[in-house]
Chain A
Amino acid sequence: MDATMKKKVSRYSAHIVLITASIFFMIPFVWMVSTSLKPLTQIFSFPPEWIPKPVEWSNYTNAMSYIPFFTYLKNTLVITFVSTIGVVISCPLVAYSFAKLRWPGRNILFIITIGVMMIPGQVTMIPLFLLFEKLGMVGTPYPLVIPAFFGVPFYIFLLRQFFMGLPDSLREAAKIDGAGEFRIYWQIMLPLAKPAVLAVGLFQFMASWTDFLGPLLYLTDSLQYTLSLGLQQFQSQKGSEWGLMMAVSTMMTVPVIILFFFLQKTFIKGITFSGIK
Chain B
Amino acid sequence: MKLKANAQVVEQIESPKTPTGKQLKIVPKKKKSKWGQYKHGLLFASPWIIGLLVFYAIPLFSSIYFSFTTYSILQPGEFIGLENYKELMHDPLFWKSVYNTVYFVIYYVPLSIFFGVALAMLLNMKVKGMAVYRTIFFLPTLVPHVALAVLWMWLLNPGFGLVNGFLNSIGIDGPAWLGSETWSKPSLILMSLWGIGQAVVIYLAGLGDIPEDYYDAAEVDGANWFQKTFHITLPLLTPVIFFNLVMGIIGAFQQFTLPYALTQGQGTPANSLTFYVMYLYDNGFKFFKMGYASAMAWILFVIIMGLTAFVFLTSKRWVHYQGK
Could you list which residues of chain A lie within 8 angstroms of chain B, going by C-beta atoms?
11, 14-15, 17-18, 21-22, 25-29, 31-32, 35, 44-48, 90, 93-94, 96-98, 101-104, 106, 109, 112-113, 116-131, 133, 147, 149-151, 156, 167, 169-170, 172-174, 176-177, 179, 181-183, 185, 187-188, 206, 209-210, 212-213, 217, 227-228, 231-232, 234-235, 240, 242, 245-246, 248-249, 252-253, 256-257, 260-261, 264-265, 267-274, 276
B119 adjacent to chain A (CB < 8 Å): yes
Known: A124-B55, A124-B63. A232 touches B261 (CB 8 A): yes
Q: How far is the CB of A154 from chain B (nearest CB, A)?
A: 8
A122 touches B297 (CB 8 A): yes
A-contacting residues, B146-197, CB 8 Å: 146-148, 150-152, 154-155, 159-162, 165, 168-169, 194
B162 touches A48 (CB 8 A): yes
A-B contact pairs, 5 of them (CB 8 A): A32-B143, A98-B45, A126-B297, A210-B145, A231-B144
User: Which residue of B47, B122, B284 is within 8 Å of A126 (Cβ)?
Assistant: B284
Q: B51 — nearest CB in chain A belongs to which residue?
A: A150
A173 touches B62 (CB 8 A): no
Could you list which residues of chain B lie within 8 angstroms of chain A, going by C-beta atoms?
3-4, 6-11, 14-15, 26, 37-38, 40-42, 44-45, 47-52, 54-56, 58-60, 62-63, 66, 73, 119, 122-123, 125, 127, 131-148, 150-152, 154-155, 159-162, 165, 168-169, 194, 201-202, 204-206, 208-209, 239-240, 243, 246-247, 250, 253-254, 256-257, 260-261, 264, 277, 280-281, 284-285, 290, 293-294, 296-298, 300-301, 304-305, 308, 321-322
User: Which residue of A17, A121, A133, A187 is within 8 Å of B73 (Cβ)?
Assistant: A133
Residues of chain A with a CB closer than 8 A to B48's CB:
90, 94, 113, 150-151, 156
How many pairs of A and B residues are in contact by the CB < 8 Å rule?
302
User: Which residue of B41, B139, B144, B294 is within 8 Å of A257 (Cβ)?
Assistant: B139
B162 touches A21 (CB 8 A): no
